[in-house]
Amino acid sequence: MKEELEEVIVARSCEPEDSHSKYLGVEVSIGTLEGSAFAEDLKRIALNEDNLWQKEKTGFIELLSDGSEGEGEEMYVSRFLDDLFNYNDIYHNNGLVFFEEILTDEIEININSSVDREKRSTENFIFSTDINTGFGEGENYLGSYEGGQLLFDNKRIKDNNIKEYYDYDKVFNNVKIPEKGNYILNIKFQDCYFTASGLVEKSKKGFNFCEEDAIFNNGICESTNYEDNKFLITPEIDKFSYFHIKNLDNVLCEFSILHGVNVEGKELKRNLNQEQNLEYYSVHLIIKDNVLIGGLTNKNNSFTPCSYCFPLNTVEWDSQSRKNKYLDISSSIGWVAPWEEKSKNSATIKDLLNLLRHY
């Protein structure tokens, strides 16, 4: 007899503070700069910068210097910068962007109603990241915002079986850049209303939570959080933390991207046609032997004052004024960028080539 299936749709959006998008996502690639191809392209650009970027109309909403919003009718596009995403032998993916690690309250709709603005999701799942194995003494407590235990068919899941449902090391993949060699880290900002769906066997729909002080009768919890049992969704998250790379923490914050979800290992398929709308600017950071040596971008203007550049490190909390202050990362490294004079860009490219020993 064929097992009955049920559709699961997981849709999520993210709007960091002062973001220019209600669905802010990123495409990220990391690649090795081997041979002379990258250097030769840079040399050609140094001779004719007009090959680097061209202006194009866009629906981009620009944050003006007085804090108001204005329509940015034009932005610089660059085939050369887009092609840099082909340097991806170490990593390439795209998804919804979050600060540091993704916490449950950032993606759990019962806590944060803005995470699925268009209400695309079904209501038949909970996240495995709700499980916090370190919160209680050997017990599988629910995340510390509420307190409770994970159930299957209203029965406690034994503590030693929790890793079957939530293994931190499998959920959070730490993306690394080797310490020796020449590498490029590419980040493109874009809209991403994360949407994944699939048909799942109904027999897997048996999960629930109980309160921390719930009463059990013959091993059955009498007080569950949800009227109906749910599927248990495990998010797939890539984490980027590069504070060991010299100069990089002056430019880039620690961040994570949500790029997939699964039900007990079965991947739900992303619907990319429903996810992406606008693409914004990109940033390309050149790293040599664990040191950030320069960057390229097609961003129209410099990075300050600018509050919508996350995960770029343009905002810092000022404890005295108790307000955010905006940092100028434009001067932290040499940038090849539209706001610079052509002669300055040419000099920066030559410096990069010297540092990469390809000049």
Nearest to 241 by CA among 231, 230, 249: 249
Cis peptide leading into 311, omega within 30 of 0? yes
The pLDDT of 29-55, averaged and rounded, is 82
- The secondary structure of residue 25, as a DSSP letter, is E
| pLDDT band at residue 147 using 50, 70 and 90 as cut-offs | very low
Q: Between β-strands 74-77 and 69-71, what pairing exists: parallel, antiparallel or unpaired?
A: unpaired
pLDDT digits (tens, 9 = 90+) for 214-237: 777 887 888 787 788 899 888 888
pLDDT digits (tens, 9 = 90+) for 94-117: 998 876 555 544 555 444 455 787
Q: Is pLDDT of 58 > 70?
A: no
Number of domains in the chain: 1
Q: Which pLDDT value is given to residue 103? A: 53
pLDDT digits (tens, 9 = 90+) for 319-356: 566 555 545 555 567 888 888 888 888 888 888 888 88
Higher-scoring residue by pLDDT: 247, 121 = 121
Q: Which pLDDT value is given to residue 302? A: 63
With 0-12 CB in 10 A as exposed, 13-18 as middle and 19+ as buried, what is 341?
Answer: exposed
Q: Between β-strands 172-174 and 231-240, what pairing exists: parallel, antiparallel or unpaired?
A: parallel
Instruction: Locate all alpha helices (DSSP H) within 227-341, ordered by sequence.
Output: 272-275
Q: Is pLDDT of 161 > 50?
A: yes
- Characterize 205-236 residue by residue with b for buried, 16 or more Cβ atoms within 10 angstroms of its Cβ, and e for exposed: bebbbbeeebeeeeeebeebbeeebbbbbbbb
Report how far residue 250's alpha carbon sits from residue 314's, in angstroms, rounded to the nearest whole number: 9
Q: Which distant-in-sequence residues (6+ apart) come within 8 Å of 54 by Cβ?
A: 76, 77, 78
Q: Which pLDDT value is given to residue 320? A: 65
Average per-residue pLDDT for the chain: 76
With 0-12 CB in 10 A as exposed, 13-18 as middle and 19+ as buried, what is 120?
Answer: middle
Residue 333 CA, chain-centre distance (Å), reads 23
Report how far residue 92's alpha carbon sits from residue 337's, in angstroms, rounded to the nearest whole number: 24
Cα dihedral sign, 300-96-120-195: positive
The DSSP H or E segment spanning 1 is none
The DSSP H or E segment spanning 349 is helix 342-356
Q: Which pLDDT value is given to residue 222? A: 80
| pLDDT band at residue 83 using 50, 70 and 90 as cut-offs | very high
Higher-scoring residue by pLDDT: 19, 289 = 289
Residue range(s) defining the domain that contains residue 80:
5-356
Q: Which pLDDT value is given to residue 181? A: 92
Report how far residue 359's alpha carbon sits from residue 232's, in angstroms, rounded to the nearest whole number: 54
| pLDDT band at residue 66 using 50, 70 and 90 as cut-offs | low
Q: Is pLDDT of 359 > 50?
A: no
Backbone torsions φ then ψ of 203, nearest 5 degrees: -65, -20
Q: Which pLDDT value is given to residue 144? A: 34
Nearest to 172 by CA among 233, 235, 237: 237
Report how far residue 216's alpha carbon sits from residue 200's, in angstroms, rounded to the nearest whole number: 29
Q: Which distant-in-sequence residues (6+ apart) come within 8 Å of 142 by Cβ?
A: 130, 131, 132, 135, 148, 149, 150, 209, 212
- The secondary structure of residue 307, as a DSSP letter, is S
Residue 93 CA, chain-centre distance (Å), reads 10
The DSSP H or E segment spanning 39 is helix 37-47
Q: What is the pTM of this model?
A: 0.81
Nearest to 237 by CA among 257, 262, 253, 254: 257
Q: Is pLDDT of 32 > 60?
A: yes
